[in-house]
């Protein structure tokens, strides 16, 4: 993980970027090039749920973007099993210098890659020969290792073939006769049917659970976006607070708290948190709850909410039009001077 990533100005002059990428594609591509999970070698592990949270996109949008970048634009490759993404032309712009710190970093990160095919995918775009050689040497070592494993597997197969003798065949035939009985078939079919139904139910539960998690991530993402747009950058403390708030009040009520703080020129986490805590204390958890509370005159009877009555109406109190009597009195005071 790096503190920063450079984005070459040639990015905006690239023919593919100019002619094929939509504004949303460009935004997503910049995210893939600069997000906190990126590495020096252009291969890094990241989940689609993490992308959804950091971008404020739904999982459906993330899946669509990833599919477009991998199969249409052909700019990335993603392994859903290892959750690793590789940037095709990363080496062209980011692996353009050498030196011991760079080489040490590259060698260390190559070892951490689970899908070795991604290493070859990125190496094709590297122009710096010294860095490209590190990638090729690493691939050569791993290919040799794979071939050795394949040879071991063949030996294992040869050994297993030796068991194909009369004794084994006889034992196998006896087993088949046993499994051919009507009682077994009936039991087996019932068991298979029950197992199939149970697996189907488990699958449905998992899908439902994933949908709920996706919905929660998207919901929190909306709170985060509002916070960043109006209050400031997100840190660990702010994120934990937002996560807690998102489970207590709806997004419209959160937005209203920010609006009130903005009117008072006190747009900070502490002031907004105070507003929300007072609402929660009065069982106000949605924007509709707040409107209903206001309509019932809740603020008038509750001194804890003076910021929402006295403060919000202070302009009306101090800058209303003077009466005829007040004007007359003011004129008398001026004449007496």
- Cβ neighbours for 114, distance < 8 A, ≥ 6 positions apart: 45, 79, 82, 84
* Structural domains counted in the chain: 2
- Residue 227: inside a domain: no
Residue 99 in contact with residue 88, Cβ under 8 Å? no
Cα pseudo-dihedral 326, 327, 332, 336, rounded to 10: 100
Query: What pLDDT shows up at residue 186?
Result: 59
pLDDT per position in the chain (337 positions), as tens? Answer: 456 787 888 889 888 899 999 999 999 999 999 999 999 899 999 999 999 999 999 999 999 999 999 999 999 999 999 999 999 988 888 887 777 888 888 899 999 999 999 999 998 888 888 888 889 989 888 865 444 444 444 444 444 344 444 544 555 455 545 545 555 555 556 666 666 777 777 777 777 777 776 666 767 888 888 888 888 887 878 888 988 889 899 999 999 999 999 998 888 989 999 999 999 999 999 999 999 888 887 654 454 444 444 444 444 444 455 677 777 777 777 777 6
Looking at the DSSP assignment, which residues form a beta bridge with residue 43? 86
Task: Output the DSSP codes for 18-52.
Answer: HHT--HHHHHHHHHHHHSTT--TTSEEE--HHHHH
Query: What pLDDT shows up at residue 229?
Result: 87
Residue 36 in contact with residue 1, Cβ under 8 Å? yes
Rounded Cα gap, residues 10 and 86, in angstroms: 20
Query: What pLDDT shows up at residue 67?
Result: 95
Domain at 275, CATH number: 1.10.10
Query: What pLDDT shows up at residue 189?
Result: 62
- Cβ neighbours for 68, distance < 8 A, ≥ 6 positions apart: 25
> What would the two tokens of residue 295 be?
């309509």
Which residue among 89, 115, 147 closes a domain? 147
CA distances from 269 to 142, 250, 283, 336 (A): 52, 17, 21, 52
Query: What pLDDT shows up at residue 197?
Result: 73
Q: Where are the beta strands (DSSP E) in the chain?
A: 43-45, 76-79, 84-87
- Residue 199: inside a domain: no
**To which H or E segment does residue 87 belong?**
strand 84-87
- Residue 19: inside a domain: yes
Predicted model pTM? 0.47
- Residue 95: inside a domain: yes
- Residue 180: inside a domain: no
Which residue among 129, 147, 165 closes a domain? 147
Rounded Cα gap, residues 262 and 274, in angstroms: 14
Which residue among 124, 147, 170 closes a domain? 147
- Chain centroid offset of residue 246 CA: 17
C-alpha angle with apex 30: 69 to 227, nearest 5 degrees? 115
Same domain (yes/no): 134, 259: no
- Residue 327: inside a domain: no
Residue ranges making up the domain that contains 132? 9-147
CB atoms within 10 A of CB 224: 19
**To which H or E segment does residue 170 belong?**
helix 166-179
- Residue 198: inside a domain: no
- Residue 60: inside a domain: yes
């Amino acid at each position: 993980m790096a503190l920063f990533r450079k984005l070459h100005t040639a990015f905006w002059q690239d023919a593919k970027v100019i002619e094929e990428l939509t504004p949303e594609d460009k935004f997503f591509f910049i995210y893939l090039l600069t997000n906190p999970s990126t590495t020096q070698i252009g291969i890094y592990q990241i989940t689609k749920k993490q992308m959804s949270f950091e971008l404020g996109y739904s999982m459906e949008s993330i899946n669509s973007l990833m599919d477009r970048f991998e199969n249409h634009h052909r700019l990335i490759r993603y392994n859903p099993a290892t959750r690793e993404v590789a940037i095709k032309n990363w080496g062209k712009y980011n692996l353009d210098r050498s030196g011991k710190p760079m080489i040490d970093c590259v060698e260390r990160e190559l070892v951490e890659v689970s899908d070795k095919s991604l290493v070859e995918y990125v190496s094709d775009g590297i122009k710096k020969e010294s860095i490209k050689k590190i990638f090729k040497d690493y691939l050569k070592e791993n290919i040799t290792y794979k071939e050795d494993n394949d040879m071991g597997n063949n030996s294992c197969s040869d050994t297993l073939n030796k068991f194909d003798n009369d004794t084994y065949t006889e034992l196998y035939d006896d087993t088949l006769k046993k499994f051919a009985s009507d009682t077994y078939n009936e039991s087996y079919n019932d068991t298979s049917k029950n197992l199939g139904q149970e697996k189907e139910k488990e699958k449905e539960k998992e899908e439902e659970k994933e949908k709920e998690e996706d919905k929660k991530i998207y919901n929190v993402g909306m709170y985060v976006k509002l916070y960043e747009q109006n209050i400031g950058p997100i840190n660990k403390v702010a994120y934990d607070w937002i996560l807690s708030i998102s489970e207590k009040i709806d997004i419209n009520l959160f937005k209203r708290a920010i609006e009130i703080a903005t009117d008072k020129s006190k747009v900070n986490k502490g002031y907004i948190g105070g507003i929300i805590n007072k609402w929660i204390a009065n069982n106000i958890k949605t924007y509709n709850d707040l409107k209903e509370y206001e309509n019932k005159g809740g603020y008038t009877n509750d001194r804890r909410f003076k910021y929402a009555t006295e403060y919000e109406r202070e302009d009306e109190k101090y800058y209303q039009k003077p009466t005829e009597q007040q004007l007359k009195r003011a004129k008398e005071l001026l004449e007496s001077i």
